[in-house]
């Protein structure tokens, strides 16, 4: 598998063409992985694409943060303390991937393969005959001897954290999965069964049935986003009802006053107000 690397300038130019006209890139190999640092506002968000036969077959756009626990030797030299390393998936990572009709996967690696994130997707048919696709496996390989994030690790080495029995991001087939809210998954590491937390946000993923080059199909919103939409429209509806209640109350009161008005005998003006003159 060959990989093509683009510098930032080229990527920007590439993205402009992408959003302007549908352009076909020249094929130099059977498969190409491309990473395009987009013009998104989220600095951690990036889009990773697997192309086959001159067209995109898998697109993953998200922002990922990892919390990796690792052991550090205590001051007394005997005890082990667990520290947390906080990493983010950087822009411009290397991509490998494979597409298929029922299976697809993407491998994102950076820092000279010190870190690799592997995501597997499968497509299946549910009971009622609907086809859905989902994320079936998530694996994160990390090397604790990497200096920038792991400080004074005890027994540095490469570890793999995998998911078990994962069934996430379930989406009807032919649609892309969109979720702005943060989703957190915990992977069990080979390093003493420690829990590695993967937090994904601003997600838009489509691993199958991409019709046009670099174009996501119809979006399917996750439940949190749907609730947020409901949460946003509800105040407007309630505000409108409140305004209606106020208007009705005021008009009823106005007519009540008109109907029950009684003429009063005029009393002399109150002279106690003279002091205010």
Partner 1 sequence: MAHLIRSKFQNKLSNAATSMSNKSTAKVSGMMARMGFQAATDEEGLGFAACDDLDYDHRQGLQMDIMKSDEMEGGVGAGEDGMAAGDSHYQRDGTGPPPSGSKASGLGEEEKSPKITAWEAGWNVTNAIQGMFVLGLPYAILHGGYLGLFLIIFAAVVCCYTGKILIACLYEEDEDGQLVRVRDTYVDIANACCQPRFPSLGGHIVNVAQIIELVMTCILYVVVSGNLMYNSFPTLPISQKSWAIVATAALLPCAFLKNLKSVSKFSLLCTIAHFVINILVIAYCLSRARYWAWDKVKFYIDVKKFPISIGIIVFSYTSQIFLPSLEGNMQKPSDFHCMMNWTHIAACVLKGLFALVAYLTWADATKEVITDNLPSTIRAVVNLFLVSKALLSYPLPFFAAVEVLEKSFFNEQERTWFPSCYGGDGRLKAWGLTLRCSLVVFTLLMAIYVPHFALLMGLTGSLTGAGLCFLLPSLFHLKLLWRKLLWHHVFFDVAIFVIGGICAISGFIHSMEGLIEAYKYGIED
Q: How far is the CB of 245 from partner 1 (least distance, A)?
A: 6
Report the distance separating Cα 53 and Cα 121, nearest Å: 20
Rounded CA Rg of the chain: 30
Cβ closest to partner 1, residue 167 vs residue 233: 233
Q: How far is the CB of 184 from partner 1 (least distance, A)?
A: 17
Strands 219-221 and 176-179: parallel
Three-state SS at 52:
strand
Q: How far is the CB of 256 from partner 1 (least distance, A)?
A: 9
Report the distance separating Cα 215 and Cα 193, nearest Å: 40
Report the distance separating Cα 1 and Cα 168, nearest Å: 28
Q: What are phi and psi of 225, to 5 degrees?
A: -65, -35
Cβ closest to partner 1, residue 215 vs residue 241: 241
Cβ closest to partner 1, residue 77 vs residue 235: 235
Q: How far is the CB of 38 from partner 1 (least distance, A)?
A: 23
Report the distance separating Cα 218 and Cα 176, nearest Å: 6
Q: How far is the CB of 238 from partner 1 (least distance, A)?
A: 4
Q: How far is the CB of 264 from partner 1 (least distance, A)?
A: 5
Cβ closest to partner 1, residue 101 vs residue 266: 266
Report the distance separating Cα 139 and Cα 157, nearest Å: 17
Region at 244 (left for phi over 0; alpha for psi -120 to 50; beta for the rest):
alpha
* Contact status, residue 61 vs residue 31, Cβ threshold 8 Å: no
Cβ closest to partner 1, residue 9 vs residue 236: 236
Rounded to the nearest 10 degrees, how much is the dihedral formed by the CA atoms of 190, 191, 192, 198?
Answer: -80
**Which positions lie near partner 1, rule CB under 8 A?**
227, 230-232, 234-235, 238-239, 241-242, 245-246, 249-250, 253-254, 257, 261-262, 264-265, 267-268, 270-276
Cβ closest to partner 1, residue 99 vs residue 179: 179
């Amino acid at each position: 598998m060959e990989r093509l690397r683009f510098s930032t300038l080229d990527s920007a130019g590439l993205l402009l063409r992408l959003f302007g006209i549908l352009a076909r890139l020249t094929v130099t190999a059977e498969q190409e992985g491309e990473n395009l640092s987009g013009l998104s506002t989220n600095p951690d968000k990036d889009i990773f694409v697997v192309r086959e036969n001159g067209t995109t077959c898998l697109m993953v756009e998200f922002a990922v943060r990892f919390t990796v626990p690792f052991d550090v030797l205590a001051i007394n030299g005997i005890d082990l303390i667990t520290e947390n390393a906080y990493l983010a998936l950087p822009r411009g990572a290397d991509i490998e991937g494979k597409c298929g009709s029922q299976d697809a996967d993407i491998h994102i690696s950076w820092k000279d393969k010190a870190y690799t994130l592997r995501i597997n997707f499968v497509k299946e048919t549910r009971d009622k005959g609907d086809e859905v696709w989902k994320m079936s496996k998530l694996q994160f390989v990390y090397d604790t001897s990497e200096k920038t994030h792991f400080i004074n690790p005890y027994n540095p080495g490469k570890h793999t954290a995998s998911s078990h029995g994962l069934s996430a991001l379930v989406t009807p087939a032919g649609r892309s999965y969109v979720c702005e809210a943060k989703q957190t998954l915990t992977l069990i590491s080979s390093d003493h069964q420690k829990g590695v937390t993967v937090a994904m946000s601003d997600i838009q993923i489509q691993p199958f049935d991409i019709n046009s080059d670099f174009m996501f199909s119809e979006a399917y919103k996750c439940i949190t986003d749907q609730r947020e939409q409901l949460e946003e429209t509800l105040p407007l509806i309630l505000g409108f009802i409140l305004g209606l209640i106020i208007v009705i109350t005021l008009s009823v009161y106005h007519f009540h006053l008109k109907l029950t008005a009684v003429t009063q005998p005029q009393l002399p003006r109150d002279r106690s107000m003279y002091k205010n003159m």
